[in-house]
Amino acid sequence: MKRQGTLARWNKDRGFGFIRCPEISTDVFVHLRDFTDRSTTPQVGMRLSFEEIHVGGKGPRAVAVQAAGAAQQPASQPRRGSEPPRRHADRSNGRAPEALRSPPSSSPASPSLLPMAPLLAAYGALLGYGVWTARLPPIALGVLLVLNLLTFFIYGFDKNAAETGRWRTAESTLHLLSLIGGWPGAWLAQRLFRHKMRKASFMAGYWATVLAHVAALGAWIGKLLPAGLLAI
């Protein structure tokens, strides 16, 4: 599929980098040999058009890359009165300069505690009630804590793999971790690592696992499920 994005990072010595595209949840790997015009000199901030592919379960890769024009003049020829070129160099760290960032309230990927805080409070109360009524053994709280830590770190490893072009964690695995109780850790990792948040289909699946887990837990604690179900 034809995409457009901005070259966010470039390793001149090794001849590869990453393209940031608002339509893709992770940065897209690109190699110098993937440029259609080999005389192109990639620069951070350059606008690019490319075809997105996926090979061997790794993250997205760009092919048939074409330069749509550099975003700024070379550092050796700055314009008087213009911002210094270092504004674009800040993007090599994976973040846009402060002056170019959108306010958190207007960003589609900005974290918000408003919808999650009441859900987490209700979930904690549900777990506490389950332990108090002996519907849940106290050890279940420890198991959930370990599961959420594991989910958090798996998200972090997957984000790093997406940035370095290594083997990715399957989305079905991430959804399974959320379904069995790791959804709070997944939610925190999504916002801390800014991972998967812009992919609508994944987030729809994530929220489905959250609702399914909370509903099943509530049914169990509320004795809507038979007591012998866990023995099956």
CA-wise closest residue to 145 among 170, 163, 133, 127? 127
Measure the CA–CA gap between 102 and 79, rounded to whole angstroms: 25
Measure the CA–CA gap between 231 and 8, rounded to whole angstroms: 52
Whether residue 185 is predicted with pLDDT greater than 50 in this model: the reply is yes
Average pLDDT over the chain reads 78
Q: Which residues span the domain enclosing 214?
A: 116-231
Instruction: Give me the mean pLDDT over the 132-143 stretch.
Output: 92
Specify the CATH number for the domain of residue 38: 2.40.50.140
- Do 189 and 88 share a structural domain? no
**Where is pLDDT greater, at 193 or 43?**
193
Whether residue 124 is predicted with pLDDT greater than 60 in this model: the reply is yes
Q: What number of other Cβ atoms are within 10 A of residue 197's Cβ?
A: 19
- Do 180 and 96 share a structural domain? no
pLDDT per position as a tens digit, 10-63: 888 888 888 888 878 788 888 888 888 877 788 888 888 888 887 766 778 888
Instruction: Give me the mean pLDDT over the 155-182 stretch.
Output: 90
- Do 150 and 45 share a structural domain? no
Segment (H or E) for 185: helix 183-192
Model pLDDT, residue 211? 93
The CA-to-CA distance between both ends of the chain, in Å, stands at 46
Of 18-22, 78-82, 110-114, 137-141, give the range with the top mean pLDDT. Answer: 137-141
Nearest-10 crossing angle of helices 116-132, 200-221: 30
Model pLDDT, residue 7? 86
Q: Does 109 map to a domain?
A: no
Model pLDDT, residue 205? 92
Q: Percent of the chain scored above 90 by pLDDT?
A: 31
**Burial classification of residue 101, based on how many CB atoms lie within 10 Å of its CB (0-12 exposed, 13-18 middle, 19 or more buried):** exposed
CA-wise closest residue to 173 among 150, 197, 142? 150
